[in-house]
Structure 1
Amino acid sequence: MAHKSEISRLFLEVFPEFEAAYQEHISEYNEELAHVFFGDHVTSEVINQLKLEAFNSKAVKYFAFFEDIAKEADLYSRQVLTTTILTRIGDDITIFKEAQKYMGERTRQLSDEVELLIGRNDTTR
């Protein structure tokens, strides 16, 4: 079995319903590619929850996890959060604005840094 990154290990502890998708990912790539796993499976599900545009406990749980990663996890885990999850969430202004309702202080700070870095720091955000 491939070694799980810290973010994957922590994520699967909180969200065991993703274990089958994770195992399929390992089977497909013969290793863990956390950016791919989180991009293909996790971020897509988070975006689907945000599209509901109604306060939902699933989104609260995702963003609480992201806040923990933003505050306490290793550098690689924070890179997955910023470059894979937060960047993609920022691709759609409607999704981005909905996500902001759930972001904790540190997640919001990282998101703002991402948006500034890639040039999406206009006043409409």
Structure 2
Amino acid sequence: MNLRFFADQCVPNSIIKILCEADYEVLVLKDYIPIESPDSIVITKAQELDAILVSLNGDFADIVTYPPANYKGIVAIQLRNHPEIIPQLMERLKNYLLVNNSMLYYQGKLLLVEAHRIRVRE
């Protein structure tokens, strides 16, 4: 199965476009639930859609509130108010996704994606 992502409402269109151009399936939050939905509904919808959640929302990087073991995968994009790093960050993420191209790989993992590294928490 090709990788499927569920893009939180805070994910810029440029990131969604880059993932789509790399031939990944990207489901956009506004097409499934109201954009003001609480985080608990967002993560639940990602699970229902059998998708890896992609978000800039720092709450999803909190392993106490959202233990990675309970989810099909969370990709937390770490822009830190620097949208100019999106191309570099996404190049790093795309290379990582090419090597780890199975949905099962992301089960129970949180990826903290930064421009210079990707940290994996389980």
User: What TM-score, normalized by structure 1, do the two folds share?
Assistant: 0.32
Where is the helix percentage greater, Structure 1 or Structure 2?
A: 1
Where is the strand percentage greater, Structure 1 or Structure 2?
A: 2
Q: Pick the structure with greater CA Rg.
A: 1
